[in-house]
Amino acid sequence: MKKKLPDNFTVLIGGEKGGTGKSTIATNMALMLKLAGYDTHLVDCDKQMSSLKLSSRRSANEIKPQLICTHLQGDQLQVPLADLSEKYEAVVIDSGGQDSVELRSAMISPSVTLLVVPIQPGFFDVETLMDMNKLVSTSKIYNPNLEARCLISRASTHYLDTTAEEARVFIQSELNSLKDMKTVIRDRKPFGYSVATGECVYEYELRTHAKEKKATSEICDLFQEITGFKFINSYEGRK
């Protein structure tokens, strides 16, 4: 039996820096929630519509279960997001790769309780977190229940690389409105390949019989950190 998610479980994936894998994280989390048996809705607020395109590819390739994705834009997202959070067990929002009216509108929406900010572990990327820290602080005036977490994303896979840990130290010591996440998502090719086929990385590595499934392990860690419990594929065997 699947475990119950908190009421109005709505996760916003966003930030000011582009190229950090926001759409990849958003689509993977939405699909993992769907596979875990939750009635999930993916919201794409990005003008590039990357999440919407993945949902369309998944539908075209007849991959089950299907994932409903809606494209929303504008600075008045509070009402549609509240409606979706009441209708679905889980809502995942992809706000795109820049400081936008959609990002700001979603952050002050009472239905949004968790903001995940993917960030690459480099100085010019981490530097943008200073502005994001201020934006979170301001947003909490209107949405006091908002929790904001930094996810180190697209980190190097080289075992001697220390930039991920250095970024974590910066987040812990310099930011008061943003907390770090334990999970680190590394720059692994299966993340890109799975997006291209309309799958989450769990499905892709399972289908291709990947030996180590490192990307799957990382996305499962993220699932557990966000939901509070381990991922179990409740859809397996049901076609």
In contact, 29 and 194? CB cutoff 8 Å? no
What contacts 27, CB < 8 A, 6 or more positions away?
A: 42, 50, 51, 54, 55, 94, 195, 200
pLDDT tens figures, 140-167:
999 999 999 999 999 999 999 999 999 9
pLDDT of 16 strictly over 90: no
Residue 236 has pLDDT above 90, yes or no: no
Cα–Cα–Cα angle for 203, 112, 9, nearest 5°? 50
Residue percentage of the chain with pLDDT more than 90: 87
- Domain spans of the chain, in order of start: 9-227
CATH superfamily for 9-227 is P-loop containing nucleotide triphosphate hydrolases (3.40.50.300)
Average pLDDT estimate for 1-14: 92
